[in-house]
């Protein structure tokens, strides 16, 4: 029997603020699971701490709500120990680019076959609206006593520099497009990042739904707003590396695109390179049967509880009498 949206919902009350962009992300994720017909028990959702991090509780799948900034290490541990699990990690912008920035960068080096999604709302939602690492210099969102004194991080550029092999941006209120991005991220062979522009109506009164949608910019000709977000695909941009020699120019192109912000904000796939070896492949070079016999599947004892592991080779090496 085909799995439906309802099969991925939990009966819990969702306590995000009305109008929160997180609802769009949640719906997109559940739609992807339906689209891909992924068994709930095949999927594990990891999150950090923050408003975003409540995500796993609303999804019917293995759900691991970890620590502030730490969804990636937990997700990596689980994925490496049992590579059959479809692993999705969710982080906040504070979570992934502030306290967890070290994991953000170093995860990029590993190219583990999993998906990481960052809820970029420009603020620390759950601690009541302080500036997040993506908030631009000089902006003063609602809860800030003074304008932001730091420049904002560019997550797309940082991901490029760190070695992510799939980098996309979505918008929380364009669920159909976001769903496509997440689906492509999951099917990507390697580590995929989706940065989601997520309006926080409660604390970010600058990068609002209206602002992204360009409600303040009415085209006099059509009388319609001119949205700030646009789709890279619509402009003929193609970030997919198909031959090794394309990797560098496409990185440069993606980096250039990543600079756009303000009047025009690109959505879609910035960069994808499936030619890079995955961590699983690298591990298989060292441990030939890694994929068939990963840590979680190894039998370590017999029925009597005796250890099955032979350490004779190592002991032989150390033997002196």
Partner 1 sequence: MQSMTRDDFIWMAGGPQGSGVDSSANIFARACCYGGLHVYGQREYHSNIKGLHSYFHIRVSPEEIGSIASRVDLLCTFDADSVVRHIWEVSQGGGIICDTEVLGKRIMEIPTLSASFREEFQKTLDEKGIKPETVGDLINEVKKNGIKIYPVPYLELLQGLGKEIGEEKLSKLTIMTNTMALGISFGLIKYDKKFVNKAIEKIFEKKAKLISTNIVAFSRAYDYAMKNFGDSGFSLNPVETDEKRIYLQGTQAVALGKIAGGCRFQSYYPITPAGDESEYLEENQVFELEKEGISQAGGSIIVIQTEDEIAAVNMASGAALTGARAATSTSGPGFSLMAEGLGWAGINEVPTVISYYQRGGPSTGLPTRHGQDDLRFALHASHGEFPRIILCSGDLDECFYDAASAFNYAERYQTPVIHLTDKALANSSRSCRIFDRSRVKIERGQLLKEDDVRKKEYKRFQITESGISPRLPLGTPGAIFWNTGDEHNELGHVTENPMMRTVMMEKRMKKLELADKEIPAQERVNFFGDNDAAVTIVSWGSPKGAILEAMDRLRQQGHKINFLQIRMMHPLPTDYVAEVLAKAKKKIAVEGNYSAQMAGIIRERTGMDMDYFVLKWNGRPMTSDEVYDALLLIMQDKAPKRQVLMYGT
Ligand X SMILES: Cc1ncc(C[n+]2csc(CCOP(=O)(O)OP(=O)(O)O)c2C)c(N)n1
Task: Give the C-alpha separation, 225 to 206, whole Å.
Answer: 17
Asked whether position 24 contacts ligand X by CB under 6 A, the answer is no
Q: Which listed residue (31, 51, 72, 254) binds ligand SF4 by CB under 6 A? A: 51
Which of helix, strand or coil describes residue 273?
Answer: strand
Residue 43 vs 196, nearer CB to ligand SF4? 196
Binding stretches for partner 1 (CB under 8 A) = 10, 12, 39-42, 44, 46, 49, 54, 56-57, 60-67, 70, 72-82, 84-85, 102-103, 105-106, 283, 286-290, 293-296, 298-301, 305-315, 318-321
Element (H, E) at 86: strand 86-92
200 secondary structure, DSSP code: -
What does 308 interact with, of partner 1, Mg ion, ligand SF4, none (CB < 5 to 8 A by kind)? partner 1
Site for ligand SF4 in 185-224 (CB under 6 A): 200-203
Residue position matching structure tokens 């060292």: 286
Counting Cβ atoms within 10 Å, is residue 11 exposed (0-12), middle (13-18) or buried (19+)? exposed
The answer to the question of residue 50 lying near ligand X (CB under 6 A) is yes
Of 44-52, 159-167, 184-192, 226-234, the segment contacting ligand X by CB under 6 A is: 44-52
C-alpha distances in angstroms, 317 versus 41, 233, 311, 314, 320?
43, 59, 10, 5, 9
State which of residues 24, 25, 32, 52 lies at the interface with ligand X (CB under 6 A): 52
- The residues, ordered by sequence, that sit 6+ positions from 55 with a Cβ below 8 Å of its Cβ are 22, 25, 26, 29, 45, 47, 63, 90
Return the residues of window 65-124 that contact ligand X according to CB under 6 A: 68, 92-95, 119, 121, 123-124
* Window 121-150: contact mask with ligand X (x via CB under 6 A): x-xxxxx----x------------------
In angstroms, the Cα distances linking 128 to 50, 51, 221 are 10, 10, 41
- Judged by beta carbon, residue 43 or residue 159, the one nearer Mg ion is 159
Tokens, residue 30: 């559940």
Residue 102 · residue 316 · CB < 8 Å: no
**Any contact of residue 121 with Mg ion (CB under 5 A)?**
yes
Cβ-based nearer residue to ligand X, 123 or 194: 123
Binding-site partner at residue 51 among ligand SF4, partner 1, Mg ion, none, CB < 5 to 8 Å by type: ligand SF4
Partner that binds at residue 201, options partner 1, Mg ion, ligand SF4, none, CB closer than 5 to 8 Å by kind = ligand SF4
- 48 in contact with Mg ion (CB under 5 A): no
Using CA atoms, how far apart are residues 302 and 259, in angstroms rounded to an integer?
A: 58
Q: Cα(57)–Cα(63) distance, rounded to whole angstroms?
A: 6
Minimum distance, C-beta of residue 250 to ligand X, in the bound complex (Å): 30
Q: Which is nearer to partner 1, 204 or 280 (CB)?
A: 280
Of 184, 132, 150, 164, residue with least CA distance to 258? 164
Q: Which helix (H) or strand (E) holds 65?
A: strand 62-65
Contacts with Mg ion, residue ranges (CB under 5 A)? 92-94, 121, 132
Contacts with ligand SF4, residue ranges (CB under 6 A)? 16-17, 20, 22, 51, 121, 125, 200-203
């Amino acid at each position: 029997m085909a799995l439906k949206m309802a099969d991925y919902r939990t009966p819990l009350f969702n306590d995000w603020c009305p109008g929160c962009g997180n609802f769009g992300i949640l719906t997109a994720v559940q739609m992807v699971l339906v689209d891909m017909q992924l068994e709930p028990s095949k999927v594990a959702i990891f999150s950090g701490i923050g408003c975003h991090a409540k995500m796993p509780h609303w999804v019917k799948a293995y759900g691991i709500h970890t620590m502030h900034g730490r969804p990636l290490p937990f997700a990596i541990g689980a994925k490496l120990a049992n590579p059959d699990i479809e692993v999705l990690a969710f982080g906040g912008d504070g979570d992934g680019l502030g306290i967890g920035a070290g994991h953000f960068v170093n995860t990029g080096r590993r190219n583990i076959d999993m998906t990481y999604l960052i809820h970029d709302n420009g603020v620390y939602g759950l601690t009541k609206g302080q500036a997040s690492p993506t908030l631009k210099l000089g902006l003063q969102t609602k809860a800030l006593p003074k304008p932001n004194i730091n420049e904002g991080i560019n997550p797309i550029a940082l991901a490029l520099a760190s070695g992510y092999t799939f980098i996309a941006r979505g918008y929380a209120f364009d669920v159909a497009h976001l769903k496509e991005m997440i689906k492509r991220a999951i099917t990507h062979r390697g580590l995929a990042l989706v940065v989601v522009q997520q309006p926080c109506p409660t604390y970010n009164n600058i990068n609002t739904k209206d602002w992204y949608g360009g409600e303040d910019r009415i085209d006099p000709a059509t009388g319609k707003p001119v949205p700030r977000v646009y789709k890279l695909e619509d402009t003929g941009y193609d970030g997919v590396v198909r031959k090794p020699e394309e990797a560098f120019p496409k990185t440069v192109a993606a980096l250039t695109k990543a600079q756009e912000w303000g009047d025009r904000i690109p959505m879609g796939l910035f960069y994808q390179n499936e030619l890079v070896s995955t961590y699983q492949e690298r591990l298989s070079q060292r441990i030939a049967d890694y994929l068939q016999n990963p840590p979680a599947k190894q039998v370590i004892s017999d029925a009597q509880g005796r250890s099955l592991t032979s350490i004779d080779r190592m002991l032989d090496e150390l033997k002196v009498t």
